[in-house]
């Protein structure tokens, strides 16, 4: 615990030292009250820092999740494309032999299912797209709200 603490706001250098001390405990997984008792800073100060760092971690994790989701979707589409190409090759081989009518029908059905699955995957929006759509809807909704004080009074 610091022995020469000043009242009020610290200068930039002292503020950075406070941040560093609190950050070290945050990264170690120590709770707010334990940091308060150990370092003597107010729980409000510690909570603000913890909230800020938690938010940054969450945003970073969300971005990574969205990237992984987009990559997984791209891999699935590529795999379906490869399977469709293979089925088309088999269909061409089988179509040269007239006595394999039932096999041709099965291959046509498999091709239909794969194409359908690919289309549904391509047209299913990822979470990033859904979030963007919802944000745009909210922006549009709030842009329609009254802006001036007179409009606020008129809306009542």
Give the model confidence (pLDDT) of 116-153 as tens digits.
777 776 666 666 666 667 667 766 766 665 555 555 55
pLDDT of residue 154: 58
The arithmetic mean of pLDDT across residues 4-31, rounded, is 80
Section 40-58 average pLDDT? 88
Residue 44 pLDDT class (50, 70, 90 cuts): very high
Measured CA to CA, the distance from residue 63 to residue 68 in angstroms comes to: 9
3-class state of residue 127 by DSSP: helix
> What is the CA 90 to chain-centroid distance, rounded?
40
């Amino acid at each position: 615990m610091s022995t020469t603490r000043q009242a009020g706001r610290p200068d930039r250098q002292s503020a950075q030292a406070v941040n560093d001390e609190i950050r070290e405990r945050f990264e170690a997984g120590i709770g707010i009250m334990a940091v308060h008792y150990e370092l003597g800073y107010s729980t409000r100060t510690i909570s603000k820092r913890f909230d800020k760092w938690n938010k940054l971690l969450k945003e970073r994790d969300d971005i990574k999740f969205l990237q992984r989701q987009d990559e997984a979707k791209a891999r699935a589409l590529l795999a379906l494309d490869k399977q469709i190409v293979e089925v088309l090759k088999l269909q061409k081989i089988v179509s040269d032999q007239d006595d394999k009518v039932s096999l041709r029908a099965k291959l046509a059905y498999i091709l239909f299912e794969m194409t359908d699955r690919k289309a549904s995957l391509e047209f299913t929006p990822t979470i990033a797209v859904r979030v963007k759509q919802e944000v745009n809807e909210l922006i549009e909704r709030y842009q329609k709200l009254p802006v001036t004080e007179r409009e606020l009074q008129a809306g009542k």
